[in-house]
Amino acid sequence: MSADAQKRRAAAAALDHVSNGMTLGIGSGSTAKHLVDLLGEKVRAGLTVRGIPTSEETRRLATEAGIELVEPDEMTRIDLVIDGADEVDPDLNLIKGGGGAHLREKIIAAAGARMIVIADKSKKVAQLGKFPLPVEIERFSWPLTVQAIRKALAANGLKSASLKLRPGSREAGGGVYLTDSNNYIVDIQCTRIDDAAALDASLRAIPGVIETGLFIGIASLAIFGTDRGVETLG
Ligand code: 5RP
């Protein structure tokens, strides 16, 4: 079975946690795309939910699927957030942001009463760090921020980590990748992160850093699609 089919299985299983009247944070990426698709089917069959999209792409997909959306400046309780991840460790700490949406994803996930991660089983790891850690940074004087990030990495035992300013896609005209909030992303190849909470705190203390892709202690359940069905963690 393909990873994509596993993603769809995970998304379908997460919908068992959705009930009438809920306000849902809706993640971004290819797994979240399956979620939007399947949620749209349920909405058309009569389920009443409101969604808060975590990216412009998810907003577009959810609108097309007929899901009622909450405006970002509307104050509301978020009952449940369902989102993908790039890595999930045994304590449900995550690396996110492979799709560049982790700032909005983290705002919504942190505000949600509960977060469920949906992923194919390759995302389940013993330790975070193989997937490059995305860090969203302010564009102004970005080389100074990158320099400060290097110092923070060294202070966290990650002196040999390599940093790369994320390039823009060919469809977007190349150049440097811009997030939905018009910031840059630095991808940090760490190989292994021994203390994710300490690294997150050090990086977030740098003035030009807007948000890291480390989600520490936010998710309460992960659902992994496998060839045989789903596996859960949490
Ligand atoms: C986007 C994300 C995605 O959830 C993450 O990159 C996983 O993506 P996919 O579901 O395509 O594997 O964090 O910012």
98 a known binding residue?
A: yes
Provide the pLDDT for residue 19.
97
CA 75 – ligand 1 centroid, Å: 26
Annotated catalytic residue within 57, 105, 136, 211: 105
CA 31 – ligand 1 centroid, Å: 7
Provide the pLDDT for residue 182.
97
Examine the residue annotation and report whether 71 is marked as an active-site residue of this protein: no
CA 220 – ligand 1 centroid, Å: 17
Provide the pLDDT for residue 164.
97
Provide the pLDDT for residue 173.
86
Q: What is the pLDDT along the chain (234 residues), one digit of tens a residue?
A: 999 999 999 999 999 999 999 999 999 999 999 999 999 999 999 999 999 999 999 999 999 999 999 987 888 899 999 999 999 999 999 999 999 999 999 999 999 999 999 999 999 999 999 999 999 999 999 999 999 999 999 999 999 999 999 999 888 888 999 999 999 999 999 999 999 999 999 999 999 999 999 999 999 999 999 999 999 999
Burial class (CB in 10 A: 0-12, 13-18, 19+), 125: middle
Could you identify the atom of ligand 1 that is nearest to the CA of residue 33? 10
- Interface confidence, given as ipTM, is 0.99
Ligand 1 mutation pick, 4, 6, 26, 31, max ligand atoms within 8 A of CB: 31
Ligand 1 mutation pick, 28, 108, 122, 125, max ligand atoms within 8 A of CB: 28
